[in-house]
């Protein structure tokens, strides 16, 4: 009887671990990312706009969870290489904060191949986390939107940001 109970506990534990460990790895032609458990497939929106330098092509990938959380990845391909990455990131940060009427809580530069900055900010009932990245002619934003500080602080959200990898852009 004792062995039967141990077996049942082991099976239950493995089943629970399997349910908790489920995450949704996603791959596009622009990036890969592992979304936290419960997030749906990405919906994609693409648009282009003209600038004095040429056409800017922007694609948004949006995933939502039943908890009210969302993840948005935006990739904008500029008409040429972004010359001043720090200025581009600062401009994107300021535009983001202004458009959301948000308050910046923290800003941290990320060491690595690409210029990147991590942001924590809030706007009304939304608690947001973002990473802004400049890579050649691409400006990338990974944005997490939660409904509480606790949701934003969950380890799976940090793991999602850590899993984000840019794909090598096709030669033009």
CB count, 10 Å around CB of 160? 21
- Mean residue pLDDT across the chain: 85
Between CA 126 and CA 149 the distance in angstroms is: 9
pLDDT at residue number 99: 93
Please report the DSSP string for the chain in residue order. Answer: -HHHHHHHHHHHHHHHHHHHT--EEEE-SSEEEEEPTT--PPEEEEEEEEETTEEEEEEEEEEE-TTS-EEEEEEEE-SS--S-HHHHHHHHHHHHHHHHT-EEEEEEEE-SSSEEEEEEEEETTEEEEEEEEEETTEEEEEEEEESSHHHHHSHHHHHHHHH-EEPPPPP-
Q: For residue 94, what pLDDT is reported? A: 96
Could you tell me if residue 73 is inside a domain? yes
Whether 9 is in a domain gets the answer no
Of the candidates 138, 145, 139, the one whose C-alpha atom is nearest the C-alpha of residue 91 is 139
Query: Considering the domain boundaries, does residue 131 fall inside one?
Result: yes
CA angle 15, 21, 25 (to 5 degrees): 135
* Domain total of the chain: 1
Residue 123 lies in a domain: yes
How high is the pLDDT of residue 11? 32
**Span 19-51, pLDDT tens digits:** 333 467 889 999 999 999 999 999 999 999 998
The more confidently predicted of residues 5 and 159 is 159
Query: Is there a domain that residue 77 lies in?
Result: yes
Asked if residue 52 is part of any domain, the answer here is yes
- The per-residue pLDDT for range 121-155, each reduced to its tens digit, is 999 999 999 999 999 999 999 999 999 999 999 99
The pTM for the full model equals 0.82
Domain extent for 38: 23-166
Domain holding 117: CATH number? 3.40.1000.10
Residue 115 confidence (pLDDT): 87
């Amino acid at each position: 009887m004792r062995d039967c109970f141990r077996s049942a506990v082991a099976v239950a534990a493995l089943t629970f671990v399997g349910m908790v460990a489920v995450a949704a790895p996603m791959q596009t032609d622009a990036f890969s990312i592992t979304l936290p458990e419960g997030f749906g497939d990405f919906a994609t929106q693409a648009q282009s706009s003209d600038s004095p330098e040429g056409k800017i092509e922007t694609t948004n990938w949006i995933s939502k969870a039943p908890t009210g959380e969302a993840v948005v990845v935006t990739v904008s391909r500029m008409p040429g290489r972004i010359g001043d990455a720090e200025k581009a990131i600062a401009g994107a940060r300021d535009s983001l904060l202004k458009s959301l009427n948000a308050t910046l809580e923290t800003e941290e530069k990320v060491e690595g191949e690409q210029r990147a900055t991590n942001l924590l900010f809030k706007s009304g009932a939304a608690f947001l986390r973002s990473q802004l990245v400049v890579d050649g002619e691409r400006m990338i934003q990974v944005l997490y939107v939660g409904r509480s500080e606790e949701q934003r602080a969950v380890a799976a959200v940090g793991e999602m940001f850590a899993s984000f990898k840019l794909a090598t852009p096709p030669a033009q």
